[in-house]
Amino acid sequence: MVQILTASEAKKSILKNTFVIDSTEELELKNGLSRVCAKTIIYPIDVPSYTNSAMDGYAINVDNARKRQTSASLWNRAPEKIKIIGKATAGHPYYGDFNEDAAIQIMTGAIVPAGYDTVVINEDVTVSNGNLNIKEFPKKGGNIREAGEDLRKGEVCISKHKTLTAADLGLLASVGISKISVFKKPKVAIFSTGDEIKNPNESLSVGQIYDSNRFSLAGMLQKIGMDIIDLGIIPDNPIMLKKILGNASSSSDALITTGGVSVGERDYMKTVLNEIGKILFWKIKIKPGRPFTFGSIDKSMYFGLPGNPVSSMVTFSQFVMPSLIKLSGAQPQETFFLPAKAAGEIRKIKGRTEYQRGIYEKKENGSYWVKPAEDQGSGILNSMSRANCIIHLTDELSNVKKGESVLIEPFMANKVLN
Ligand code: AMP
Ligand code: MG
């Protein structure tokens, strides 16, 4: 007997029944952004691979240089000169002889010639007639980056299951890696169901509406890097639904449909799933999105989302996304919550989790305040578009009073660093 699960039970059950994709592919590094690393990558070289200057200045042997300048003042003689005998720039090493009493002009990134242990920066010297006068001595080893100081050959560079960021691509390039092994993108087939649903480029007859779910869904799937198989709109016809689902299950890792999962006369998804697959559960104690079906057809997972546009977006973001992320081979992501104060009373019924669309803002004193978007109807997509967070109201909560703290899940995140 299928019972009604709580939100956290449903999440757990879905994740427990989610496998991890096993097929991998090799990619050019430049195409690797947001892909999931399929093999742990080890540093093939030390970084930096040679000892180099961190600043523009002069490479010296600090003890000798100090002796030459200070002995002169001690004995009241003219200081012994520190001659500048050569130059090293990035990519153009100094190949001349070593002289521990002399200096080499050196630029940032250039190899520090053997025998020199310190770089004194331009700002701390004066130069006259090709000789160096040091006003301020750095400590020994100053302004030098030692070979292997940042990264050591043989250590872990990127772990298997890490989703590659822009920084990771740069890091891999910096150690000479140009090809990477990643998990293949999961194939996710989607379609909308409903006799009344039409494509936005069609004209509407009486009682018909435009399909918004497939567009929101495709947008969310794109954001998490899925390979989308768009199967369009399928009418409320069990024979057709069975055929399409059966075919799609053999060519996809997950199937997502919207609509037809309630208990209406023309809600066929559960019946169809019972015949050609397996249902694990079909209701969650949540609002919006209570009629949510999870199961499988063949080796493909099945998510039956409710038809109401907000319900389908909310249930996707809370229950389907974590599963698809696991499927893709990536590390699970904890939901990012921010505590915020309720700007007014928030109505909530105890015994279910509510995901309300919210609008939060930061006040001058640094605290965050949130109010529910005006219309919380599960068909009102424009309040989802205006919202900037989901207010998470867990099972045990009832009405929240003005000024009480709630947890919000902000929509924004750093768009480039993640
Ligand atoms: P259902 O879950 O099929 O009973 O649908 C619930 C409500 O959502 C009904 O008012 C449907 O017309 C509407 N609906 C279903 N599918 C879509 C869709 N793809 N786009 C927009 N609204 C939809
Ligand atoms: Mg329907």
pLDDT recorded at residue 72: 56
Average pLDDT, the chain: 95
| CA 46 to ligand 2 centroid distance, Å | 60
**Residue from 210, 213, 266 to probe ligand 1 pocket by mutation (most atoms less than 8 Å from CB):** 213
Statement: residue 2 has pLDDT above 90: no
Residue 132 has pLDDT above 60, yes or no: yes
Instruction: Render pLDDT for 212-223 as a digit per residue (tens, 0 to 9).
Output: 999 999 999 999
Ligand nearest to the CA of 259: 1
Going by pLDDT thresholds of 50, 70 and 90, the confidence category of residue 76 is low
- pLDDT tier for residue 377 given thresholds of 50, 70 and 90: very high
418 band by pLDDT with thresholds 50, 70 and 90: confident
Ligand 1 neighbours (beta carbon < 6 A): 192, 194, 196-197, 209, 211-213, 258-262, 264, 267, 306-309
Report which of residues 8 and 416 the model is more confident about.
8
Which pLDDT value is given to residue 145? 96
Q: Does pTM top 0.75 for this prediction?
A: yes
Averaged over 354-369, what is the pLDDT?
A: 97
Alpha carbon of 309 to ligand 1 centroid (Å): 7
Look at ligand 1, atom 15, and give the residue with the nearest C-alpha.
307
Q: Which position has the token pair 């002399």?
A: 102
**Residues with Cβ–ion distance below 5 A, ligand 2:** 194, 259-260, 307
- For 156-173, write each residue's pLDDT tens digit: 999 999 999 999 999 999
pLDDT digits (tens, 9 = 90+) for 223-257: 999 999 999 999 999 999 999 999 999 999 999 99
> Three-state secondary structure along the chain?
CCCCECHHHHHHHHHHCCCCCCCEEEEEHHHCCCCEECCCEECCCCECCCCEECCCEEEECHHHHHHHHHHHHHCCCCCCCEEEEEEEECCECCCCCCCCCCEEEECCCCECCCCCCEEEEHHHEEEECCEEEECCCCCCCCCEECCCCCECCCCEEECCCCECCHHHHHHHHHCCCCEEEEECCCEEEEEEECCCEECCCCCCCCCCEECCHHHHHHHHHHHCCCEEEEEEEECCCHHHHHHHHHHHHHHCCEEEEECCCCCCCCCCHHHHHHHHCEEEECCECEECCCCCEEEEECCEEEEEECCCHHHHHHHHHHHHHHHHHHHCCCCCCCCCCEEEEECCCECCCCCCEEEEEEEEEECCCCCEEEEECCCCCCCCHHHHHHCCEEEEECCCCCCECCCCEEEEEECCCCCCCC
Mean pLDDT along residues 85-91: 97
Question: What's residue 340's pLDDT?
Answer: 98
Residue 98 has pLDDT above 90, yes or no: no
Percent over 70 (pLDDT), the chain:
97
Ligand nearest to the CA of 195: 2
**78: confidence class by pLDDT, cuts 50, 70, 90:** low
- Using pLDDT thresholds of 50, 70 and 90, give the confidence band for residue 74: low
The pLDDT value recorded for residue 288 is 96
Average pLDDT over residues 388-392: 97
